[in-house]
Chains A and B, each alone.
Chain A
Amino acid sequence: MKLTRRDALTLGLGATAAALLPMSATAAAEDAIAVFTGGVEAGAGDITLTTPETVENGNRVPISVEAPGAMAIAVFATGNPTPEVATFNFGPMAGRRFASTRIRLTATQDVVAVAKLADGAFVRTSVMVKVINGS
């Protein structure tokens, strides 16, 4: 494909839009997180979110979360059309508070994990995942 000046400009505009977009996407994600926490501020703490740094294919991105003592852990994809991904509620027969699955990411974005602890406090962490081909 030949890259014309018009194409280059369009690409540039697209990149600018993409750079601006995460702001609004993050706002939607923060709203979704507030629904999970009931508006309680989630601080940093003992929670681990493991993802690849870069993925070729956004259709199956392996993630795992762990937060010792958590009652529940919710995962959010801040750049997806709907930020909620999954909520893991741990029961009395759960072992360590760990879960792993595969998720869809439409583009490069921050993935956020939030854990609800036994005392009602919330902790969160986030990881930037670079996606080459979005889902």
Chain B
Amino acid sequence: MISGDKPRVKMPVSAAAGAEITIKTLIPHPMESGQRKDSDGNTIPRSIINRFTCEFNGESVIDVRLEPSVSANPDFEFAATVPEAGVFNFTWYADDGSVYEMAQEIAIG
């Protein structure tokens, strides 16, 4: 990840019980594809975010497998159902073993 930058999540702070909400996420990351060469002609090794997950109160909302064809700074938009108040957990897994996490609460009302 680009140092100093944090993943971003955009979602409502509250929803009606059982409502569907839209969540937008973005993580700053170059998503080095492994297809590019440096000025000396050497292949720049692949280094991407390869998995993104979103869970609500421990249950899966979406689990995404990413390949090098996903753009740099991968962003996602998806829908979740919110039956009760709780916490959304967002996790990004990188090729280099790094794991980036974020959590955001949602209230009912």
Contact = CB atoms under 8 A, between A and B. Distances in A.
Interface of A: 59-61, 64, 77, 80-96, 98-105
Contacts of A100: 76-78
Interface residues on B, range: 20 to 34
Contacts of B69: 77, 80, 82-86, 103-105
Nearest to A105: B69
Contacts of A81: 35
Given A86-B67, A95-B21, A105-B69, 12 more contacts: A81-B35, A82-B67, A82-B69, A83-B69, A86-B66, A87-B64, A93-B81, A94-B78, A99-B77, A99-B78, A101-B70, A102-B75
6 contacts: A59-B72, A80-B69, A81-B35, A89-B64, A95-B79, A101-B75
Interface stretch (B1-9, B55-63, B90-98): B55-63
Contacts of A95: 20-22, 78-81
A91 B67 contact: no
B35 to A, nearest CB: 5
Contacts of A64: 77
B30 to A, nearest CB: 12
A93 B59 contact: yes
Nearest to A80: B69
A99 B62 contact: yes
A98 B21 CA distance: 12
- In the complex, which of the residues A84, A86, A98, A105 has the most CB atoms of chain B within 10 Å of its own CB atom? A86
B33 to A, nearest CB: 7
A97 to B, nearest CB: 8
Contacts of A89: 60, 62-65
B58 to A, nearest CB: 9
B104 interface: no
B68 interface: yes
Contact of B68 (A82, A91, A92, A96): A82
A25 B97 CA distance: 31
A91 B70 CA distance: 21
Contacts of A85: 67, 69-70
Contacts of A88: 62-64, 78
Contacts of B61: 90-91, 93-94
B14 interface: no
